[in-house]
Amino acid sequence: MKRIIRLTGILGLLGIMACSQTDGIVEQSPEVLYRKGYDAFLAKDYEKSAEYFDEVEKQHPYSIWSERAQIMAAYAFYQRNEYEDAILVLDRFIQLHPGNRNTPYAYYLKGLCYYEQISDAAREQSMTEKAQQTFNELVARYPNSVYAVDARAKQGFILNHLAAQNMVVGRYYLKQGDIIPAINRFRTVVMDYPDTNQAPEAYYRLAAGYILLGMNEAAHDMVTILEKRWPDDAWTARARKMVLRKEQVKQG
């Protein structure tokens, strides 16, 4: 009886081993797993590449290869547009290895994952805000990193995008006759995004809103700012004509 039980146990163990070899990746050295993952990556088989890199971390979590594999797995997910999976891996890497030489790149790649999901200005902008937050953190923590240079460049686009989103909403309110909400949106642009390409129009729209409210002095202030900062801009010219036309109507 004991022999039958012992034999059954051995057969069960062999069955488990057979399943592990057919259904998953068998245990191998971290170097071999990493090489297979890298070869798959070069062949642009990003799904298989991510599997091998993930297996490095599973089988050899404390090896030096595990740190490299996490970054490569995240990049493989990024190449497949599987941004959520990439962000999960990168967040874990940043948490476990805050002083690693690849941590600046982890922040940068995380920012790219959000950046690639930025929608047009008329849509909800949570991904834009998350990209901004991630790039801000990268620049603050690693200002001299090579990745901070590109992050700063992308921050300019992000700020313009967030400003444009406020302009879309502000124009909508203005068209509907909701002057106060419109003015609040345009004020957000001039206060929070003063150096973006949306700022001249925001000042013009503010002047228009103030005129509609009968706040002519405030409208003049907006035109003065436009003339000082953007004397040759088309929005400045439009603002001058708008205020002049209002004054002519008043005098007439």
Nearest to 170 by CA among 178, 159, 162: 178
The span from the CA of 228 to the CA of 240, in Å, is 12
Print the domain residue range for 161: 101-178
Final residue in a domain of this structure, among 78, 100, 122: 100
Residue 215: CB atoms within 10 A of its CB come to: 16
Question: What's the pLDDT score for residue 245?
Answer: 78
61 φ, ψ to 5°? -65, -20
Q: Are residues 123 and 165 in the same domain?
A: yes
- Per 3-state DSSP, what percentage of the chain is helix, strand, and coil (rounded to 5)? 80, 0, 20
Cα dihedral sign for 113, 118, 119, 125? Answer: positive
Are 118 and 143 found together in one domain? yes
pLDDT beyond 70 at 150: yes
What secondary structure letter does DSSP report for 213?
T
Note the pLDDT tens digit of each residue in 197-220: 999 999 999 999 999 999 999 999
What pLDDT, on the 0 to 100 scale, is given for residue 1? 44
For the record, the structure tokens of 143 come out as: 């200002």
- Look at residue 20 and tell me if it is in a domain: no
Residue 87 and residue 57 in one domain: yes
How much is the average pLDDT of 163-178? 94
Same domain, 116 and 84: no
* Inter-residue contact 31 to 47 (CB < 8 Å): no
17 lies in some domain: no
Structural domain includes residue 241 = yes
pTM for this one? Answer: 0.77
Residues 91 and 107 in one domain: no
Q: Is 42 domain-assigned?
A: yes
Instruction: With cut-offs at 50, 70 and 90, classify the pLDDT of residue 119.
Output: confident
Q: Is residue 214 part of a domain?
A: yes
Q: Which of 72, 100, 128 is the last residue of a domain?
A: 100
Burial class (CB in 10 A: 0-12, 13-18, 19+), 157: middle
The answer on 38 and 95 residing in a single domain is: yes
Confidence label for 57 from pLDDT (cuts 50, 70 and 90):
confident
Q: Specify whether 205 is located in the same domain as 221.
A: yes
User: Is there a single domain that holds both residue 164 and residue 137?
Assistant: yes
Residue 9 within any structural domain of the chain:
no
Residue 18 lies in a domain: no
Question: Residue 47 sits in a domain of what CATH number?
Answer: 1.25.40.10
In a domain, 1, yes or no: no
Token digits of residue 171: 């124009």
Cβ partners under 8 Å of residue 120, min gap 6: none
Question: Could you give the number of structural domains in the chain?
Answer: 3
Last residue of a domain, one of 178, 207, 242: 178
